[in-house]
Amino acid sequence: MMLPPALTHVRVVRPGGKRFGLWVPVFLLWPLLFVLGLVALAIAALADSILYASGRTYHHYTRLVAGLFALLGKTRGTVVRVDGPDTDIHIEIR
């Protein structure tokens, strides 16, 4: 089972030992994104059915929305590190 990320930790390190860290609770956004995702899924299914019935080239908008949900679930465990000349940034998605 793929679960979407719950927390994001952003850490910025500047020269001279100055550090800044921020925990972002992403799980607070999931109810809103769930409702928006259901609306997007319903609109995509409606668009797919209309395009299929009209005989036009069939587009898979429903598969696109479902693929976006899968992509969101696979972002868990992603680590991004940016090392610059002035600042080092470390982002960890849990």
Q: What is the pLDDT of residue 1?
A: 64
- The pTM for the full model equals 0.68
Select from 2, 1, 8 the least CA-distant residue to 29. Answer: 8
Cβ atoms of residues 61 and 68 within 8 Å: no
User: How far apart (Å, rounded) are the C-alpha atoms in residues 42 and 79?
Assistant: 33
40-46-69 Cα angle (round to 5)? 30
Q: d(Cα 72, Cα 91) in Å, to the nearest integer?
A: 16
pLDDT in tens, 71-81: 888 888 889 89
The per-residue pLDDT for range 13-37, each reduced to its tens digit, is 887 778 889 999 988 998 998 999 9
Q: In this structure, what token pair is assigned to residue 81?
A: 């590190």
